[in-house]
Chains A and B, each alone.
Chain A
């Protein structure tokens, strides 16, 4: 081991490393955002007040049952295994569909590895986020729901205008956690040939046989990405917190410019 090797590897391979890091960031960021959206939607469905009428009640029960299966499946299996199953399984399912019902809806199941990666990370994150959002909704004061309902808001308006903005604030730390986990865990997607950072490093190391040096560089890049993500999230958390004091309007109804803090 020598310092020269680090420098050589970086100078010879920096475009590949950067492309890998970029891919890692794209997949984990998109995956976290889509996953958070999935989680929010499931949270809203899960907290829909129980209907008294028959049809709607059955429908809601079925949807909730399916969502339960989804959450338990993706929380209960490793992402590396899900990646294999989804990436290699989808073409088989589409083939089978074509054979049995005569159409594969114009999609033969062959996916671009990056697309598959985003799908897998999103579904995985969605399953965890569903639980995080559920916790976030439960932690919103019951009075908020009552005030909205007393005003005549339906479940959807209550959620979008009153509850979810508060939930978003509550779940931000947990979402940040999930994001950082995603940055690291996308490395398992190398098994379906996604050219993210781990995959690129493996290729580099395979060519120069300097495994420790190559992966140590990858290690530093991962650390830079996660630490940056942490700082960005902290910034948003602080912004959302707001001030403890307020500004009163003066007699003329004008808000005075803030005195320098």
Chain B
């Protein structure tokens, strides 16, 4: 199966600070890839570069055989990459259902009926279909994040990017979000996840990427990486993280 995206020699600097250096990274269709690493290692920036929320300073992102960094209209590409944020970022002016339909209607030009059917379907998947009329400020963090996942899925993306989806949640709410993500992973959705939940990463990932200081230090199956890390830095990080 083909790659959803191919990243070659990607770099990103904020001023003189080089956050990403020569990243080569690709994701196959249906693959679940988790990016781990300590804070400041550049993993969130990498994810944001994949969605072009940050414009890379150099390198290429190949999508459907084209380097999208050369294209003029980036929005045409962005709509194919769903994003789930640490802070949920539900649209505060819309209720749950409209959060999941506004993008479909405005960007994918789906009809209201079609958009609502798709939205309801995904809200059911995340277990939030009984809250369609609720406003974001009326929901708990875990509920918000599940709606955010349904919103991203409603756009029928080629891949879903998760930027530390459980880091802003109370411990008892982490479980419900991880459960949903696990189901999605098993359903064959292409996912790129940045997380600090090591056990979870180990359980659901097809591949784990370890980043440090803007570089991909090591990647491999969960088994290889957790049980048999090759690099000193990976070992040191896992020792700290799995304690």
Q: Residues of A with Cβ closer than 8 Å to B?
A: 141, 143-144, 146-154, 157, 161-162, 165-166, 169, 242-250, 253, 255
B71 adjacent to chain A (CB < 8 Å): no
Bitwise interface map of B from 93 to 116 toward A, beta carbon under 8 Å scored 1, else 0: 100000000110011000000000
Report yes or no: A154 in contact with B83, Cβ–Cβ below 8 A. no
B239 adjacent to chain A (CB < 8 Å): no
Report yes or no: B107 in contact with A246, Cβ–Cβ below 8 A. no
6 pairs of A and B residues whose beta carbons are closest in the complex: A152-B79, A143-B89, A147-B89, A246-B134, A150-B83, A165-B93
Report yes or no: A146 in contact with B130, Cβ–Cβ below 8 A. no
Give bound CA distance, A143 to B85, whole Å. 8
Return A147 CB to nearest CB of chain B, in Å: 4
Known: A152-B76, A157-B106. A147 touches B93 (CB 8 A): no
Report yes or no: A147 in contact with B102, Cβ–Cβ below 8 A. no
B53 adjacent to chain A (CB < 8 Å): yes
Give bound CA distance, A153 to B80, whole Å. 12
B187 adjacent to chain A (CB < 8 Å): no
B87 adjacent to chain A (CB < 8 Å): yes
Question: What are 29 sample pairs from A and B whose C-beta atoms fall under 8 A apart?
Answer: A141-B89, A141-B92, A143-B85, A143-B87, A143-B89, A146-B53, A147-B83, A147-B85, A150-B51, A151-B78, A151-B107, A152-B79, A152-B107, A153-B103, A157-B106, A157-B107, A161-B91, A161-B102, A162-B91, A165-B93, A166-B92, A244-B138, A246-B133, A246-B139, A247-B134, A248-B131, A249-B131, A249-B133, A253-B130
Q: Residues of B with Cβ closer than 8 Å to A?
A: 51, 53, 75-83, 85, 87-93, 102-103, 106-107, 129-135, 137-139, 148, 155
- The SS class assigned to the B binding surface is loop
CB-contact partner of B138 in A154, A245, A250, under 8 A:
A245
CB-contact partner of B130 in A152, A166, A242, A249, under 8 A:
A249
Apart from A152-B80, A152-B107: 6 A-B pairs, beta carbons within 8 A: A143-B88, A143-B89, A150-B82, A153-B103, A166-B92, A244-B138
Return B104 CB to nearest CB of chain A, in Å: 9
